[in-house]
Homo-oligomer: A and B are copies of this chain.
Amino acid sequence: MEQRYEFNKSLDTLTQEIIIMGSLVEKNITRAIDALANQSLEIMKEVIETENTIDQMELDIEKNCISLLATQQPMAKDLRKIGAALKIITDLERMGDYAENIAKVTKRIGDEELIKPLIDIPHMAQLTQGMVHYALDAYVKENKEQAYQLGENDDKVDHLHNQVFRELLVLMMENPSTINQATQLLFVSRSLERIADHATNIGERVIFLVSGERVKIND
């Protein structure tokens, strides 16, 4: 009985750690775009520092998961919960990488004037950041319906990415001097689209956790 109590406490701690890691990732998605929009190397550096914390958290949480699995012999649902945790932190870490890579574009663009005002890209960032939040909330609440709803926003992000992609292509064709920066912005847009995919992965994990079914929310 007491052992079960301890185990549940460990699971709660695990969930808390994932929430904290997720909030750092959310923050870094927003800040990476801030760095870019404000052409601020200062903000870029903050993002890189936070990314180091995110990486460290992944290692720590992974260690906790594996030690829980190996020492507690959890069954069925608990096993899936910890398995989900292991995968979710990998997705979060990958999102963190993308956010860092976006921030680093700031340096590559430097002082050069932006070739177009950033409108769709910050909008994409806001949507993806919201998806990360929503996906982790679905995990905490073990809410399958909420997980499925991620598909809608993933569609929106995909749509915006295609739009940005087309606009940048046109811009490059009309004015070859924009090519260098435009390819950087393409990369940013693509990275946001990938972050949204990872949030959707988390949603799929939640569905598996709750129902045992492997589904693709959005293909």
Contact = CB atoms under 8 A, between A and B. Distances in A.
B71 A83 contact: no
Contacts of A186: 183, 186
Q: Quick one: copies of this chain in the complex? A: 2
A3 interface: no
Contacts of A86: 86
Interface of A is mostly: helix
B73 A79 contact: no
- What's the interface size class on A, roughly? 20 to 34
Interface in A146-203: 169, 172-173, 176-177, 179-180, 183, 186-187, 190
A66 B186 CA distance: 39
Nearest to A173: B176
A114 interface: no
Contacts of A67: 79
Query: Which of A82, A179, A180, A186 has most chain B Cβ within 10 Å?
Result: A179
Contacts of A82: 66
Contacts of A177: 173
A83 B59 contact: no
A182 to B, nearest CB: 9
A74 B176 CA distance: 59
Nearest to A179: B172
A115 to B, nearest CB: 14
Contact of A66 (B69, B169, B176, B180): B69
A90 interface: yes
15 contacts: A59-B214, A62-B83, A67-B79, A69-B70, A70-B70, A70-B73, A70-B74, A71-B73, A73-B73, A86-B86, A173-B176, A173-B179, A176-B176, A183-B186, A186-B186
Given A66-B79, A69-B69, 19 more contacts: A62-B83, A62-B87, A66-B69, A66-B82, A66-B83, A69-B70, A70-B70, A70-B74, A70-B79, A86-B86, A90-B90, A94-B94, A169-B180, A172-B172, A172-B176, A176-B176, A179-B179, A183-B186, A186-B186
